[in-house]
Structures are given as structure tokens and as C-alpha cells.
Amino acid sequence: MHLPDRVVSSVLAGLVAFFACDLPAVEGNDVRAADRPNIIIIYADDLGYGDLGCYGHPTIRTPNLDRMAAEGMRFTEFYSAAEVCTPSRAALLTGRYPIRNGMCHDQFRVLRNNSLGGLPKNEITIAEMLKEKGYSTGMVGKWHLGHLPEHLPPHHGFDSYFGMPYSNDMLPAKDAPQGREKFFVENNDYWKTPLIRGTEVIEEHPDQRTLTKRYTEEAVQFIRAKKDQPFFLYMAHTFPHVPLFASEDFHGKSPAGLYGDVVAELDWSVGQVLETLRAEKLETRTMVMFSSDNGPWLIFDSHGGSAGMLRDGKGSTWEGGMRVPGIFWWPGKIPAGSVQHEMGCTMDLLPTIAGLVDASTREQQLDGTNIAPLLLGTGTVDRAPYMYYRGTELYACRLGPWKAHFITKAAYGNPKAEPQEPPLLYHLGIDPGERWNEAARQPDVIDSIRKAVEHHRSTVQPVESQLEKVIQAKTP
């Protein structure tokens, strides 16, 4: 029987529509928007490994993060790629050790408020990668990858930006007291780090007591505005970096003092983000990740946090300086209540997200690993040896459970670097506090780690540091 052409066309169109319901639609190299997860990264500043309830803190109350961990996955061995702010943030966004892009320096450990440099334009960020896949991209909070307009988030793949260009202590008022005492005084007049929207300063002297709430309002507005399309939100909190400030709703409420107040407000903020996702029916379409840029700033006593049983804190390559909380949440995808004992790190985010959205990562050498099999409970991953850098110097290396220290140095106070020959060797499964040196009993392990370091160094090409040059003061 011969059917009219218009009938044949109608039947074919119906079949195409039917099968399109079951198969991912392809847009060029891209999967259909509905099949791509939203991505949210929430990043604390100087939060220690032991500062959350779900990581064992006895008095800081973090019910929202504890619930996030209970509904998702908590890593026990999750790392920042650096021990201080700027290099750790560069590594998170690029999936690369900062030594590869000049975002580290041995003397100037972070970008300052007079730095000329910033994240190089040729670095591909998570935002740029996702923007090419049709994502809306937004950033809220602390950037610290270059404060000049040409270095700000809108020039690195972000459609919108609201936040501070660097740490909240980097522009003290001229009449602020000298010395570290000013960090312990709750006086917002001492600090003048500006607020930026896009690339323009909108407030020269914001009230830092309101920062966490304002960041949260911006994040919630972004989610609601972009809910009908895939989006990426990078929310990098200013706190608990000193000086510490909390809003009236949280100030004086924590049994853990001001530091506890500040962390409790961060926890509230995480709760607001997750509740917004639930209210907008986005929770099964959104992966949320929470971590910290480095360990706690221990030199600030009660205004610094805790690394739990780990050794040292911010500024060091001991475990307390670089092992941080790592929580992933994606209802229906990440097994609820799971605890992951395999290692993960912030450099894993870019390759993992790339795998989830079918994005290419061939243009630059990555140091992270796609950990989707760990997150989704579908398998294991092969991880390269992990390098601990302090500035441009490689201080330590982890291979499996073993960590060898080739150089050790206390975090702050102008200590001398101490070369270790033979290297100090610790089994992090047995001794996460790095107390018992096993070097004399494990020469084969040290030999394997030396070879791993040698191979890694062969892949690193010298580049110009972005942290060294500063804006020259004009003479009158």
C-alpha cells in the first residue's frame, strides 16, 4: 500500500519524537540541557579539617552541613592543592598545580592589594569550560586571583560577580592599630576591602558583619534566576578568615565563641542554598560541593580553627595545612550517608565536572582526577601521586597511604626550611597526625616516591610568577 508523503513524514516525525524521549538529544558535541547537572561549589576560607560537627568538632554546631553529609558523601581524605589562599583557588578553578601557571611564589605567598598579576588568560577555568557547554555562570564572594579589572571573574568565564577581590584583612584603614592585636578587635572601621559587582567597585568600605548574608542573598537570587537552564555557581565565602565578623542573628550565640558564631552563619548559608534547590525542585539536577581553601590559621588562637588530630595548619604542608573538609551532595545520584576513604582533592573538580557534562579537557595538562566513579558509587579511580607544594618548592609527596617530606617548615613566624635526607615518611592511614617516622623501615617506599617526584618534575615547565610584580607608587 502506498502512503501519501505527508503521512510518511508525520509518522517519521512521531518516531523521532518518541525516541528522543529516551535518548539524550545532541546539540553539536553537547548533551541536552535537561541532562546536564547544575554545579555549585561552596568554598570556605581558612576552615579547618576539624571545624564541622560531621568532622568531629564537639561544640561548633553545623546542622546544615551535617545534613548535607548525611544526604551525600563525606570525604575523610580530601585536600586543597595549596596551603594558602591564592594558589589553592587557582588550582580549584583550573584543575592544575599552581606551579604550572605562576600562581605561587616563595616570598609573596598570595596576591596582595597592590599586585599587578592575576590568573593568566590562557588558563581554562571551570566557568569557561561550562560556559562553552551552554551554562550560565556566576560567582559570589572572595576571588583572590587578581584584583585589577582585567583579572576579575568576568574575564575568566563568569557572567556575573559580586564579592571581594582579595582577603578581608588586606586593606586596613590608615588609622587602624598596628600589629596583630587589631585582628582580635571587632571593629569594622579597621578594614576597607571593597565590594565589587562585575568589574566595578560598588562599596569602598562594606560592613563585614553583613557579608555572609549578602553573599547568601546573591546566591539564592542567582539560583532562582537561572533555574530553567543549566548553571554553575562558585560561592567563595570571606570567612572564617580573620578578622571575624558575624551578623546579629549569630553573634554571641555559639558555645565555641566568635569563631563558632562565624562558622554557624556559614552553615546557615549552606542551608539556605540547599533549601532553595529543594524549593525550586532542582535538588536531583544539582551537584553541590563544599570545602575549604586550606587549613585553619592557628596563629590566631581562638580566632583560628582546628585541624582536629592533624598536624599544624594553614601555611604548612603538614596534613593540617592542606587536608580539608570535602562534602558532595546530589540526591538520587550520590549515595546518601556515604563516607569516602579514598583520596580526593579540589583539582579533581574540573575533570570530574568535565566528565559529567561531556566537555573536552585536552587543551591543558590537568593534575586532578575524574572522581565521578567514587561519587556515584560505580567504581574506583587511579590517582597519580599527590604533590604538596609550598610556593614553588615541592615539600612532600603522597603515594597511596605513604607521605614523604623532603622539606619541612613551620607555617608562620619566619622559620627556616629544613631539608630532610632521608625524607621523613609517614603512613597516613595509621598515623594521620604524622608523628612516627617510618623512613628507616621502608626504604623501598621512599625509593618509589622519589621516582614519582622525579617524573612529576619532568612535566613542569618554568613560568613567570603572577605574584611578584606590584603596582609602583607614584611619586608626588
Please check whether residue 10 lies inside any domain of the structure.
no
* Cα 434 from chain centroid (whole Å): 24
Q: What is the mean pLDDT of residues 204-232?
A: 98
User: Mean pLDDT over residues 65-74, rounded?
Assistant: 98
Residues 370 and 409 both lie in one domain: no
CA-based nearest residue to 468, from 87, 167, 86, 105:
105
- What does pTM read for this prediction? 0.92
Mean pLDDT, range 237-245, rounded to an integer: 98
Residue 283 has what pLDDT?
98
Please check whether residue 24 lies inside any domain of the structure. no
**What residues are labeled active site?**
85, 144
Identify the domain boundary among 348, 376, 404. Answer: 376
Same domain, 50 and 115: yes
> Contact 41/235 with Cβ under 8 angstroms?
yes
- Tens digits of per-residue pLDDT, 264-284? 999 999 999 999 999 999 999
- Asked if the bond preceding 422 is cis, omega within 30° of 0, the reply is yes
Mean pLDDT, residues 126-133: 97
CA-CA distances (angstroms) from residue 8 to 4, 17, 19?
6, 14, 17
Q: Do both 367 and 429 map to the same domain? A: no
Residue 354 belongs to domain spanning? 34-376
Q: Are strands 231-236 and 38-44 parallel, antiparallel or unpaired?
A: parallel
- Give dist(CA 445, CA 161) in Å, integer: 46
CATH of the domain at 342: 3.40.720.10
Q: Residues 430-434: what's their mean pLDDT?
A: 98
Which amino acid does the sequence have at 159? D
Q: How confident is the model at residue 33 (pLDDT cuts 50, 70, 90)?
A: low
Same domain, 119 and 240: yes
Considering the domain architecture, whether residues 363 and 412 belong to the same structural domain is answered as no
Tell me, yes or no, whether 473 lies in a domain. no
In angstroms, the CA 471 to CA 474 distance is 9
Does the residue 151 lie in any domain? yes
Whether the pLDDT of residue 430 is over 50: the answer is: yes
In the chain, what is the greatest distance between 2 CA atoms, to the nearest angstrom? Answer: 94
Distance CA 389, CA 392 (A): 7
The whole-chain average pLDDT of the chain stands at 92
71 and 132 housed in the same domain = yes
Same domain membership, residue 240 and residue 133: yes
Q: Is the pLDDT at 211 greater than 90, yes or no?
A: yes
Under 8 Å between Cβ of 88 and 293? yes
| 266, 401: one domain | no
The last residue of a domain, from among 345, 376, 407: 376
212, 281: one domain = yes
What is the mean pLDDT of the segment spanning 48-69? Answer: 98
Residue 472, pLDDT score: 75
Q: Are residues 363 and 436 in the same domain?
A: no
**What value does the mean pLDDT take over residues 33-44?**
89
Contacts of 258 (CB under 8 A, 6+ apart): 186, 244, 246, 251, 302, 303
Asked if 68 and 270 touch (Cβ cutoff 8 Å), the reply is yes
Say if residue 219 is in the same domain as residue 258.
yes
In a domain, 258, yes or no: yes
Number of domains into which the chain is organized? 2
Q: What is the CATH number of the domain that holds 447?
A: 3.30.1120.10
Question: Quick check: is 470 in a domain?
Answer: no
Helices within 323-414 (DSSP H only) = 349-357, 372-376
Q: Is 399 found in the same domain as 265?
A: no
Last residue of a domain, which of 376, 395, 421?
376
- Average pLDDT of the segment spanning 436-460: 98
Q: Is the pLDDT of residue 34 over 70?
A: no
The answer to the question of residue 8 being in a domain is no
Structural domain contains residue 131:
yes
The predicted structure's pLDDT at residue 474? 56
Mind listing the pLDDT tens digit for each residue in 364-419? 899 999 999 999 999 999 999 999 999 999 999 999 999 999 999 999 988 899 99
